[in-house]
Amino acid sequence: MMSNRLFAMCGIAGVMCLAGAALGQDKAKEPAKPADKMAQPAGGEDAAKQAEEMKMWTEMAKPGEQHKWLMQFVGYWESESITYTPQGAGQPEKGRMEYKLAMGGRFLDMDFEGKFMSQPFHGGGMIGYNKVDQRFESTWVDTMGTGMLFMTGQLSDGEKTLTLEGDYTNPMTKQKSTFKEVVTIVDKDHHKSAFYDKVDGKDVKIMEISYTRAARPAKPGKLEKGEHEPMKDHAKDDKKGEK
């Protein structure tokens, strides 16, 4: 986005220069006029404004205290997730998450692999703190859908809890639904994420994942290699059942 804006500005500047040159040739034929006493002041004010803007851009680009808070997640974690349905809690399912710093410590890259309701599951995204809007921002994609989830939130409870909220389109109703994630720090080696869906105006817990810090396996698995098991094609199973 910024590169497009810079190209546009350069293009406008080039057009202005060409137009100025053409006008200059025409005006050269006209008699000289007395200087306008109300002419624009020298570029001092503009230069000062540009310097101030550059200083602000630079300051907003520096990682801050909230980015230091995110650094506690960096590393390799083993997970245990439980899914909740109206029928009750499902069986615990194992997984693993790896967090890596990105863009000079401005963002945290997330890569998760495990099971979701007995199906292979792979998800990933980024989280960071927007110093301009003063909020945490998170993006997430996974193999359970083709949409991107965007959430924002704040710290609370003495910086032990991060609450993120976002909207998604329910594939069944085609209506917007609110999704919430509550990240709780237990200690330096344990944290958990609880996920809620908004149903009839109430938060309904749909899943909880508990994380335990672990050593990265000496023998790399699919997650470490960047390989992930494809999801089962239910359509093929349905066709087999019809035969």
Q: Name the nearest CA neighbour of 168 among 127, 140, 209.
A: 140
For residue 201, give both structure tokens.
Answer: 């105006």
How many other C-beta atoms are found inside a 10 Å radius of the C-beta of residue 13?
10
Residues of the chain with pLDDT > 70: what percent?
72
Q: Which residue has the higher pLDDT, 219 or 19?
A: 219
| Amino acid 71: pLDDT | 98
Domains of the chain, with CATH numbers? 66-225 (2.40.128.20)
| Amino acid 220: pLDDT | 64
For β-strands 75-85 and 161-169, DSSP reports them as unpaired
Check: CB of residue 125 under 8 Å from CB of residue 181.
no
Tokens 């974690």, residue located: 77
| Amino acid 11: pLDDT | 39
- Does the pLDDT value for residue 25 go beyond 70? no
| Amino acid 24: pLDDT | 46
- Mean pLDDT on 75-102: 96
pLDDT digits (tens, 9 = 90+) for 127-172: 999 999 999 999 999 999 999 999 999 999 999 999 999 999 989 9
Strand, coil or helix: what is 60? helix
C-alpha to C-alpha distance for 179 and 207, rounded to whole angstroms: 12
Strand, coil or helix: what is 99? strand
Check: CB of residue 97 under 8 Å from CB of residue 211.
yes
Rounded to 10 degrees, the C-alpha dihedral 199/201/204/209 comes to 110
- Sequence length of the chain is 243
Q: Which residue has the higher pLDDT, 188 or 237?
A: 188
Q: Which of 136-145, 154-163, 190-199, 228-237 has the lowest mean pLDDT?
A: 228-237
pTM, two decimal places: 0.73
C-alpha to C-alpha distance for 158 and 181, rounded to whole angstroms: 18
